[in-house]
Amino acid sequence: MGQRIVTVAATIVLSLGLVACQGHQDGASPTPFNAKAQAAKKKFPVKLRPRTAGPGSGIQTQLTDFQGKPIKAPCGSCHATKAESRRRKDGNSLKKFHNGLTLKHGNLTCLTCHNGDDYDTLRLADDTPVKFDKLMDLCGQCHGPQKRDYDNGSHGGMSGYWDLTKGPRTRNQCVHCHDPHAPAYVGVVPAPGPRDRFLKQPVAPSGAAAHP
Amino acid sequence: MSESADGVSRRTLLKAAGATLGAAAFAQALAPLASWADGISTEEFLAKHYKELTPTELTATLKRIEDDTKKKTGVDVKVTADAPMEGVKFGYALNLSICIGCRKCAEACHEENNHDARTNNSYIRVFEMDKGSIDFAKGSVDYVHPVPQEDKFYMPVQCQQSDNAPCVSVCPVEATWKEKDGIVVVDYDWCIGCRYCEAACPYHARRFNWHAPHVAAQDINPDQGYLSNRLRPQGVMEKCHFCLHRTRKGKLPACLEACPTGARVFGNLLDPDSEIRWVLKNKRVFVLKEELGTKPSFFYFFDE
């Protein structure tokens, strides 16, 4: 009997000790999250990073103005008088523009995305025109999982604020990384790695390795 | 024993020689101490632990660090000490399906956190490993070929900000601890450089300053935090602090902003509507070395 009491007492002391051990880093427990207060706060916008290249602002004419800046022409200025070709898949057979443009994007044709009725816009499958500077919905028609991940913040680069009550955020669009005419991601040369203080000299990327 | 002609015994001569040698050796032994004391002010030597500073003392300490930096490097810096935000516990998730191993995160960390230029130090190591298993021993961190390679995958590893952090438990002087928002921090002025924490960390996430970091004056990031990226002295430990001088102001960490693919997801684990919670709910998520019971706040996931 006495032995049993000792065993019970020892067990209690041990378990108390274990609880104390687990609480070792409990001083670091965070303050609770207040969902109502968070919802009431004003939120800053999430903006799309503007496109710097591409036909959104017209196509290069190879001509320059008196300041030496390249002159761009709106797509419609040529396409207004050109008949559309629904089957065309690349620009190499054309004589004046779009030479060298080979489409490596599934079995798509030019007019899968470009709007044959207004070449200064793109077009969704349901005929809705889409502007060149906001084409996430267009890509998302086929690339659903990627669009879903993008919408939930787990695909595509961003900068700015994680806490939108403190400041705005800017997000990349699909075409910042994926060329819409050949969307497979091309390789890059990585940024320099860590250098050992004693054993190794830094290895510079050379020749064939530097250029895929 | 015979006296010499001028009255100096052999014993006296030996005594004098011994005393002179002894004094010289003592001075020589103390020399490093003198030069060490050169770089450290009396205020710094007598400073209190970060957690014991009153608001007035903290302001004075930050001012002292700014002045010291100006004196040593000629650069005007702003050192802040942001407290953890209310109702926030930081979490970080990394998408292994889209990481391409470009090391832009490690580069951004290097620039943001005033790292040593000679070793190109960074709090992030990007492992290139064969597809099929996570085998760090066979991984490479200093690859130079174009990425991504067809038969490899890439896994950036940095501090996992564990809830049960072995590095915190082993520190003999409490120079490292876990803050309320989940970030494990180091007081560089309290650390004695014993490197126990470096040995205890199963993620190899801590770095030791064998020398004071070499940072060119024009490369110094003037936006600094006491517990984060201020210029570290020689002989102390340092580690990833989730860019707390940025993230406690609501900004994204530097490594996330640098990531071109969006493989990195950062946010508040306590907010059920945050991106990080969406990832934890909807993706195949794992933590590194789960079996060790460190309870990381850093997660890895796959797309499908």
The residue-averaged pLDDT of B54-76 equals: 94
Question: What is the strand order of the sheet B298-302 is part of?
Answer: B264-268, B90-95, B298-302, B284-286
Chain A environment of B103 (Cβ under 8 Å): 190-193
Chain B environment of A150 (Cβ under 8 Å): 262
Question: CA torsion angle for A60, A64, A69, A74 (degrees, to 10)?
Answer: -40
Q: What is the token pair recorded at B117? A: 């230029």
Question: Is B278's CB within 8 Å of A155's CB?
Answer: no
pLDDT at B56 over 60: yes
Which residue has better confidence, B12 or B3? B12
Q: How confident is the model at residue A212 (pLDDT cuts 50, 70, 90)?
A: very low
- Residue A3 lies inside a defined structural domain of this protein: no
The residue-averaged pLDDT of B158-176 equals: 96
Number of helices (H), then strands (E), belonging to chain A: the values are: 8, 7
pLDDT at A26 over 70: no
Question: Is A197's CB within 8 Å of B260's CB?
Answer: no
- Residue A186 lies inside a defined structural domain of this protein: no
DSSP state of B71: H
ipTM of the complex: 0.82
The residue-averaged pLDDT of A123-140 equals: 88
User: Of the given ranges (A50-64, B2-16, B82-96, B109-123), which has the lowest mean pLDDT?
Assistant: A50-64
Give, in order, the Cα–Cα distances in Å from B26 to each of B17, B20, B39. Answer: 14, 10, 22
> Residue A81: its pLDDT value, please?
82
Closest-CA residue of chain B to A195:
B119
Question: Is A193's CB within 8 Å of B182's CB?
Answer: no
Max Cα-Cα span within chain B: 100
> Residue B267: its pLDDT value, please?
96
CA distance B25 to B32: 13
> Residue B188: its pLDDT value, please?
95
pLDDT digits (tens, 9 = 90+) for B218-277: 999 999 999 999 999 999 999 999 999 999 999 999 999 999 999 999 999 999 999 999
pLDDT at B4 over 80: no
Q: What angle do CA B217, B220, B221 make, to 5 degrees?
A: 155
pLDDT at A188 over 80: yes
> Residue B274: its pLDDT value, please?
94
pLDDT digits (tens, 9 = 90+) for A61-78: 778 888 888 788 888 888
Looking at the DSSP bridge assignments, the partners of residue B80 are: B225
Whether chain B has a CB inside 8 Å of the CB on A145: the answer is yes
Q: Which of A143, A146, A154 to mutate to test the interface with B (most CBs of B within 10 A)?
A: A154
Which residue has better confidence, A79 or B128? B128
Average pLDDT, chain B: 92
Which residue has better confidence, B302 or A23? B302
Cis peptide bond prior to B146, omega within 30° of 0: no
pLDDT at B46 over 70: yes
Category of A189 on φ-ψ map: left (φ > 0), alpha (ψ -120 to 50) or beta: beta
> Residue A159: its pLDDT value, please?
95
> Residue B159: its pLDDT value, please?
97
The residue-averaged pLDDT of A149-178 equals: 93
- Residue A19 lies inside a defined structural domain of this protein: no
- Residue A190 lies inside a defined structural domain of this protein: no
The residue-averaged pLDDT of A88-117 equals: 82
Question: Is B145's CB within 8 Å of A205's CB?
Answer: yes
Instruction: Choose the closest CB to A194 out of B87, B119, B278.
Output: B119
Instruction: Choose the closest CB to B87 out of A28, A32, A159.
Output: A32
Q: Which residue matches tokens 């030479």?
A: A99
Closest-CA residue of chain A to B246:
A161
pTM: 0.81
CA distance A17 to A23: 10
> Residue B37: its pLDDT value, please?
57
- Residue A187 lies inside a defined structural domain of this protein: no
Question: Is B283's CB within 8 Å of A154's CB?
Answer: yes
Q: Which of B95, B145, B246 to mutate to test the interface with A (most CBs of A within 10 A)?
A: B145
Q: How confident is the model at residue A8 (pLDDT cuts 50, 70, 90)?
A: low
> Residue A133: its pLDDT value, please?
77
CA distance A177 to B71: 44
| CA nearest to B153, candidates B169, B172, B167, B133 | B133
The set of long-range contacts for A107-113, using a CB threshold of 8 Å and a minimum separation of 24, is A110/A85, A111/A84, A111/A85, A111/A86, A113/A138, A113/A180
Looking at the DSSP bridge assignments, the partners of residue B181 are: none
Q: Which of B82, B85, B270 to mutate to test the interface with A (most CBs of A within 10 A)?
A: B270
Helices (H), chain B: 10-38, 42-45, 55-73, 104-112, 166-170, 196-200, 244-247, 254-258, 275-282
- Residue A8 lies inside a defined structural domain of this protein: no
- Residue A54 lies inside a defined structural domain of this protein: yes
Which residues have CB under 8 Å from A137's CB, separation 6+? A124, A130
What residue ranges do the domains of chain B occupy?
Answer: 11-40, 90-302
Do residues B99 and B261 make contact, with C-beta atoms less than 8 angstroms apart?
A: yes
> Residue A210: its pLDDT value, please?
40
Q: How confident is the model at residue A211 (pLDDT cuts 50, 70, 90)?
A: very low
User: Of the given ranges (A90-99, B54-63, B138-147), which has the lowest mean pLDDT?
Assistant: A90-99
Q: How many CB atoms are closer than 10 A to CB B103?
A: 29
> Residue A2: its pLDDT value, please?
61
Q: What percent of chain B has pLDDT over 90?
A: 87
Domains identified in chain A, total number: 1
pLDDT digits (tens, 9 = 90+) for B145-163: 999 999 999 999 999 999 9
Do residues A160 and A149 make contact, with C-beta atoms less than 8 angstroms apart?
A: no
pLDDT digits (tens, 9 = 90+) for A170-183: 999 998 888 888 88
Chain A environment of B250 (Cβ under 8 Å): 161-163, 165-167
> Residue A187: its pLDDT value, please?
86
Q: How many CB atoms are closer than 10 A to CB B128?
A: 22
CATH of B90-302, one of 1.20.1740.10, 3.40.1550.20, 3.30.70.20, 3.30.200.20: 3.30.70.20
Min Cα distance B52 → chain A (Å) is 15
Whether chain B has a CB inside 8 Å of the CB on A26: the answer is no
Min Cα distance A97 → chain B (Å) is 31
Domain span holding position A109: 46-177
CA atoms within 13 A on the CB side of A123: 14
- Residue A156 lies inside a defined structural domain of this protein: yes
> Residue A87: its pLDDT value, please?
76
**3-state SS, residue A9:** helix
H or E element at residue A16: helix A2-22
The residue-averaged pLDDT of A15-32 equals: 60
Is residue B90 exposed (0-12), middle (13-18) or buried (19+ Cβ within 10 Å)? buried
> Residue A199: its pLDDT value, please?
61
Q: How confident is the model at residue A1 (pLDDT cuts 50, 70, 90)?
A: low
Min Cα distance A160 → chain B (Å) is 6
> Residue B149: its pLDDT value, please?
93
Min Cα distance B44 → chain A (Å) is 27
Do residues A155 and A149 make contact, with C-beta atoms less than 8 angstroms apart?
A: yes
pLDDT at A201 over 70: no
| CA nearest to A89, candidates A72, A73, A113, A60 | A113
Which residue has better confidence, A23 or B261? B261
